[in-house]
């Protein structure tokens, strides 16, 4: 799909020739954001092909829906809203700004979160990443994760507070699942550059430090801090989390867990070490492997990590091996149906992934990887930054600073002092919360250090907080219309569907539909005549919820009362009959949700048999008694007859 390296080189040289001939040719490319100087026709072409690949993945995923629908977020798909199988696709479509039924996702996830918050463990006892994934998906759908319905006390559910800075408050600490919790917690906290309140359990710096502490001796990261070798995926994710602080001059002094040694480092030092390791670990074909197996996800995560730092993976020599780029490697996993496979060889460790069949996890990771790359070339915010795109004025400031830094000579001498100071001035003009987008800042920092110029730039961690709440912003990458705000009003066709729905037998099958229609009806724009439908639908929703509760009870009852099977006796008849009766009233869709129903049937047969056996035993006993009585009577009769006979004989 994508041109190989040699054609890229050919085109690059053609461009250079064109630039020499027509100096104005490259003008458009001169005004690029983020100092991405080499922005060239290549990426113009790549961007088109990236778009095609992105659309192909989504179309493949849609083809997995049965029956096929124009949208991905069908009712069936949304039934798993809040699970990893669904949420990452919501992120993909949202960050590409593609159209889909985001309003329904938001309606269903709100309902799901509210329900899960009613349990003790809320979203999960120990996995903070549940909060993170769901928050990012809500932002991607254009929603606000700080305001997701209400809990039992009527308090607004704030997934950002509960899932990041206050995570250790009522639930277990962010790190209880390991470094994953810190990494995704920080990514989520920075997704809208949320402010951290003064009385919070964690601060940005405490979270950053937890990640830094977990760095291994080889420079990378792993789930296990006592492991010798780093894990590519986690190293890449750690870089993604630390990227917003790459330009910070703040130093951190901490005890590194793997070595027990006290070290003092900047985030930039740690990220550079991790990048160095990733560069070394890249294979000759541009790919990466995890526990010895080349796979698309590792390579995808490295690509996302580079885009988070504004590094173009197609240009940076550290990540090109024998002319093979990360993109070349990822595309080797592409299937004709548009999806991606996990690995080319059967993974003994993960045999869920067929080497010949597109795989959901592989495809979702490639999807957002391509989007992150597209956003880099299209000069948009990085993948996990959900703030509004920068204003033209801010873009100009970022560009000015980046260009001034680009102009600095490779080796600065005191002769360049003015130039360096001017560049620093321009950098300082960039708002603090946008400084991470001056991707080449580290060159400036190096020059200032060489020239012993005081670098007084503000520490980023304490200054990048911007928002307390708000919706995620997702502009359409490929078309001109914004799509994530696709809440539509309730229509005539919807009314017809709702009437059909109300006529249906109560079943959990229709829950998602009911929830999404209700959400539409609550919408302010909805016409008044339709509002009358609300109480009916609310009633339906309640009925379905009762069925849901019933299912749970029934499952529990079966589990509690019908095991162990050998102890089943006729005394259990009442329970079994009740279970069967309740089961019979369910729709077949709900009947499938009853676990171990075969055991109920088995128990019913057992009880029947036992009852029958009892009857048989009783009748036999009656017969035996009857026969015995008969025997006795006959015996007596005979005895009497004999006596009678004897008497007659005697008289004779």
- Cβ proximity to another protein, 26 vs 596, nearer residue: 596
Selected from 27, 44, 83, 538, the binder of another protein by CB under 8 A is 83
Considering the rule CB under 8 A, would residue 606 count as an interface residue with another protein?
yes
Let me know the angle formed at the C-alpha of 130 by 94 and 267, rounded to the nearest 5 degrees. 80
Considering the rule CB under 8 A, would residue 616 count as an interface residue with another protein?
yes
Selected from 26, 168, 178, 470, the binder of another protein by CB under 8 A is 178
Q: Tell me how far apart the alpha carbons of residues 220 and 239 are, in angstroms, rounded to a whole number.
A: 9
CA distances from 290 to 296, 297, 298, 370 (A): 10, 9, 7, 21
Q: Tell me how far apart the alpha carbons of residues 90 and 72 are, in angstroms, rounded to a whole number.
A: 9
- Cβ proximity to another protein, 295 vs 359, nearer residue: 359
Residue 80: CB minimum distance to another protein, A: 6
Buried b (16+ CB within 10 A) or exposed e, 311-341: bbbbbbeebbbeebbbbbbbbbbbbeebbbb
Task: Give the rounded distance of the alpha carbon of 253 from its chain centre.
Answer: 33
Residue 20: CB minimum distance to another protein, A: 51
Residue 203: name the closest of 186, 223, 191, 183 by CA: 186
Considering the rule CB under 8 A, would residue 553 count as an interface residue with another protein?
no
- Cβ proximity to another protein, 22 vs 352, nearer residue: 352
Tokens of 21: 């001939």
In contact, 416 and 451? CB cutoff 8 Å:
yes
Residue 610: CB minimum distance to another protein, A: 7
Residue 619: CB minimum distance to another protein, A: 9
Let me know the angle formed at the C-alpha of 35 by 29 and 38, rounded to the nearest 5 degrees. 45
Residue 618: CB minimum distance to another protein, A: 9
Selected from 48, 388, 612, 643, the binder of another protein by CB under 8 A is 612
Considering the rule CB under 8 A, would residue 633 count as an interface residue with another protein?
no
Quick one: which H or E segment has residue 522?
helix 511-522
Give Cβ neighbours of residue 117 (< 8 Å, ≥ 6 apart). 123, 149, 151, 152, 157
Written as one string, the DSSP assignment of 418-455 is HHHHHHHHHHHHS-GGGGGG-TTHHHHHHHHHHTT---
- Cβ proximity to another protein, 224 vs 467, nearer residue: 224
Quick one: which H or E segment has residue 290?
strand 289-290
- Cβ proximity to another protein, 354 vs 578, nearer residue: 354
- Cβ proximity to another protein, 364 vs 513, nearer residue: 364
**CB-facing half-sphere around the CA of 585: CA atoms within 13 A:** 10
Total residues at interface with another protein (CB under 8 A) = 56
Considering the rule CB under 8 A, would residue 331 count as an interface residue with another protein?
no
Considering the rule CB under 8 A, would residue 176 count as an interface residue with another protein?
yes
Site for another protein in 346-405 (CB under 8 A): 348-352, 359-361, 364
Considering the rule CB under 8 A, would residue 180 count as an interface residue with another protein?
yes
Selected from 10, 85, 413, 481, the binder of another protein by CB under 8 A is 85
Selected from 564, 581, 584, 649, the binder of another protein by CB under 8 A is 564
Residue 638: CB minimum distance to another protein, A: 8
Selected from 496, 504, 628, 642, the binder of another protein by CB under 8 A is 628
Site for another protein in 112-141 (CB under 8 A): 125-127
Residue 311: CB minimum distance to another protein, A: 28
Which one of the spans 6-14, 97-105, 204-212, 559-567 is the region binding another protein (CB under 8 A)? 559-567
DSSP designation for 506: P
| 391 CB-contact burial (10 Å; exposed 0-12 / middle 13-18 / buried 19+) | exposed
Q: Tell me how far apart the alpha carbons of residues 533 and 529 are, in angstroms, rounded to a whole number.
A: 8
Which one of the spans 38-46, 390-398, 583-591, 599-607 is the region binding another protein (CB under 8 A)? 599-607
State the CB neighbour count (10 A cutoff) for residue 416: 18
- Cβ proximity to another protein, 447 vs 558, nearer residue: 558
Residue 443: name the closest of 402, 413, 399 by CA: 402
State the CB neighbour count (10 A cutoff) for residue 634: 10
Q: Where are the beta strands (DSSP E) in 108-230?
A: none
- Cβ proximity to another protein, 16 vs 616, nearer residue: 616
Binding stretches for another protein (CB under 8 A): 80, 83-85, 88, 125-127, 172, 175-181, 223-224, 348-352, 359-361, 364, 559-560, 563-565, 595-596, 599, 601-602, 605-606, 609-610, 612-614, 616-617, 620-621, 623-624, 627-628, 630-631, 634-635
């Amino acid at each position: 799909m994508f041109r190989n390296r040699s054609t890229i080189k050919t085109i690059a040289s053609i461009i250079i020739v064109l630039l020499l001939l027509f100096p104005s040719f490259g003008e458009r490319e001169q005004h690029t954001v983020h100092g991405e100087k080499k922005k060239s026709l290549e990426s113009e072409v790549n961007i088109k092909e990236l778009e095609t690949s992105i659309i192909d993945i989504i179309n493949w995923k849609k083809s997995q829906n049965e029956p096929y629908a124009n949208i991905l977020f069908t009712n069936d798909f949304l039934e798993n809203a809040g699970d990893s199988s669904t949420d990452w696709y919501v992120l993909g479509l949202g960050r590409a700004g593609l159209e889909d039924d985001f309003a329904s996702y938001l309606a269903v996830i709100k309902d799901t979160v509210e329900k899960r918050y009613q349990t003790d463990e809320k979203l999960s006892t120990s996995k903070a990443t549940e909060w993170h994934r769901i928050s990012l998906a809500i932002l991607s759908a254009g929603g606000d994760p700080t305001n997701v319905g209400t809990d039992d006390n009527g308090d607004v559910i704030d997934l950002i507070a509960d899932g990041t800075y206050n995570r250790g408050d009522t639930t277990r600490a962010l790190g209880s699942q390991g470094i994953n919790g810190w990494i995704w917690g920080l990514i989520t906290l920075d997704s809208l550059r949320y402010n951290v309140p003064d009385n919070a359990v964690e601060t940005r710096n405490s979270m950053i430090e937890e990640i830094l502490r977990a760095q291994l001796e080889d420079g990378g990261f792993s789930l296990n801090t006592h492991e010798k070798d780093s894990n590519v995926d986690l190293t890449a994710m750690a870089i993604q989390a630390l990227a917003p602080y790459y330009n910070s001059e703040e130093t951190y002094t901490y005890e590194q867990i793997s070595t027990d040694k006290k070290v003092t480092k900047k985030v930039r030092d740690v990220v550079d070490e991790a990048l160095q390791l990733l560069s070394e670990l890249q294979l000759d074909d541009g790919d990466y492997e995890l526990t010895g197996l080349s796979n698309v996800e590792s390579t995808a995560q490295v690509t996302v990590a580079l885009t988070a730092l504004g590094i173009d993976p197609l240009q940076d020599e550290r990540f090109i091996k024998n002319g093979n780029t990360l993109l070349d490697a990822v595309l080797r996993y592409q299937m004709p149906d548009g999806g991606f496979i996990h690995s080319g060889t059967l993974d003994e460790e993960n045999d869920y992934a067929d080497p010949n069949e597109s795989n959901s996890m592989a495809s979702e990771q490639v999807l957002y990887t391509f989007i992150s790359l597209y956003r880099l070339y299209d000069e948009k915010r990085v993948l996990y930054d959900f703030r509004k795109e920068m204003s033209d004025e801010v873009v100009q400031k970022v560009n000015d600073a980046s260009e001034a830094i680009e102009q600095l000579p490779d080796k600065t001498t005191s002769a360049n002092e003015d130039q360096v100071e001017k560049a620093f001035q321009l950098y300082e003009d960039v708002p603090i919360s946008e400084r991470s987008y001056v991707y080449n800042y580290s060159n400036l920092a190096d020059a200032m250090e060489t020239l012993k110029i005081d670098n007084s730039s503000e520490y980023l961690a304490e200054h990048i907080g911007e928002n307390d709440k708000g919706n995620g912003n997702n502009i359409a990458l490929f078309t001109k219309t914004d799509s994530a705000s696709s809440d539509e009003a309730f229509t005539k066709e919807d009314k017809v569907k709702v009437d059909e729905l109300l006529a249906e037998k109560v079943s959990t099958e229709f829950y998602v539909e009911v929830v999404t229609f209700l959400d539409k009806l609550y919408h302010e724009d909805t016409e008044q005549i339709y509002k009358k439908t609300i109480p009916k639908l609310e009633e339906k929703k309640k009925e379905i919820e009762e069925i849901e509760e019933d299912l749970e009870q029934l499952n529990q009852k079966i589990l509690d009362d019908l095991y162990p099977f050998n102890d089943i006796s006729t005394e259990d008849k009442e329970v079994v009959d009740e279970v069967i009766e309740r089961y019979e009233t369910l729709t077949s869709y709900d009947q499938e949700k009853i676990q171990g129903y075969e055991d109920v049937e088995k128990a019913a047969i057992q009880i029947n048999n036992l009852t029958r056996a009892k009857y048989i035993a009783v009748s036999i006993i009656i017969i035996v008694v009857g026969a015995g009585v008969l025997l006795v009577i006959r015996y007596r009769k005979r005895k009497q007859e004999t006596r009678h006979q004897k008497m007659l004989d005697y008289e004779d």
